[in-house]
Amino acid sequence: MSTQETNEHDQKGSYVHKGTSFDRDMNYIPTRITKDGEDGYPVEADRYRLVASRACPWANRTIIVRRLLGLEGAISMGIAGPTHDKRSWTFDLDEGGKEPVLGIERLQEAYFKRIPDYPRGITVPAIVDTRDGAVVTNDFGQITLDMGSQWTEFQREGAPDLYPEHLRAEIDELNDWMLHRINNGVYKTGFAGSQEAYEKEYHLLWEALDELEERLSTRRYLMGPSITEADVRLFPTLVRFDPVYHGHFKANRQTLATMPNLWNYLKDLFQTPGFGDTIDFQHIKEHYYVVHTDINPTQIVPLGPDMSHIMEPHDRDRFETDTWGPGGTAPEPPLASEVVDPAHTPLHVTGR
């Protein structure tokens, strides 16, 4: 038996149901923003706003890709607070509790403008059309692919090709496997409603992490010498593992810091522009420990672990390396308005 849940940010109020397994609803608004505007939403600079949360791993991917491709000048970004109630993500970080561009207090308002009484979870990431304030899409998997393929006119010079044609089949296969075994695997472990379901998902998760530990023993990144969409999809899960998933989700066979290839790979990416500078550890911990009251009823947010060691030297440059791929370069520093609070990260970055 399984319980139908949506994204972990889906405001259902309860995430664990006794005697059941966690089953994520993967149905999202499929509308795309494309060059030809086939779905009614053409690529257009300054029209769309990416609404994300630094707490959410699925939204974290879109923040990273937007940075790597240099789309900050074409797609603006709003950041929701790290916690939410049963109804919606809120904009409590903004003055007056209102999103400064969209003028709304809850992301739910943008969903209802598009689909009145939207029946599924109010999830991030979401792209909203600033012309009418209605959500366009929340399909996190397609959003990043479209940023790479549909928004080329507005990408920065030297933007990497994160989804190269000759690797797409292999990337797709790996991404699908990681989605079910790792990205969602941590949730299936943490939201298990029975000992049997927990133990099954725990073992499947660690088998998958062991496979990645072996894969990363022969190459710098998941697909070889260059960063791809696959690395973008794995990083947000790995960076949350020791601070949250290890304890909060009981995925506690060991910490990633004890796995030399995965840990050094994570340090490598964290220290790469566009990855670690998007991470807010305080938002991450506040979200999981405050929102998941059926797992953490006291809502106490732990002070640890100390993540400063993520900035220590790594050994990944021993492998063949072309980090940004042919013709690619590192992104510019984050916009000054998008720099993560230094108190929430071991990184010290200067915005532009």
Cβ proximity of 100 and 94 under 8 Å: yes
Is 89 annotated to bind ligand? yes
What is the three-class DSSP state of 199? helix
Backbone angles phi, psi at 40, to 5 degrees: 95, 0
List 162's β-bridge partners, or say none. Answer: none
Parallel/antiparallel/unpaired status of strands 21-24 and 2-5: parallel
Distance, CA of 73 to CA of 45 (rounded, Å): 8
- Out of 48, 56, 198, 265, the active site residue is 56
Query: Which two three-digit tokens encode residue 266?
Result: 């994570």
Q: Under a CB-based contact definition with an 8 Å cutoff, are residues 335 and 72 in contact?
A: yes
The rounded distance, in Å, linking the Cα atoms of 240 and 242 is 6
- Note the residue count of the chain: 352
> How many other CB atoms are there within 10 angstroms of residue 153's CB atom?
10
- Residue the block writes with tokens 């598009």: 114
Q: Which residues pair with 128 in a beta bridge?
A: 49, 135
User: Which string of b and e fits 234-245 if b means at least 16 CB within 10 Å?
Assistant: bbbbbbbbbbbb
In the structure encoding, which two tokens stand for residue 179, read together?
A: 């989605």
Tell me if the bond preceding 334 is cis, omega within 30° of 0: no
Q: Find, among 29, 7, 10, the residue nearest to 138 by Cα.
A: 29
Which residue out of 15, 28, 163, 187 is catalytically annotated? Answer: 187
CA-CA distance, 265 to 81, in Å (whole number)?
29
Contacts for 82 with CB less than 8 Å, ≥ 6 apart: 53, 54, 55, 280, 282, 283, 284, 286, 287, 290
Residue identified by tokens 């994160």 is 162
Element (H, E) at 126: strand 126-129
In the annotation, is 187 catalytic? yes
Q: Which residues participate in the annotated binding site?
A: 89
Q: Which residues participate in the annotated binding site for glutathione?
A: 89
Tell me the catalytic residues. 56, 187
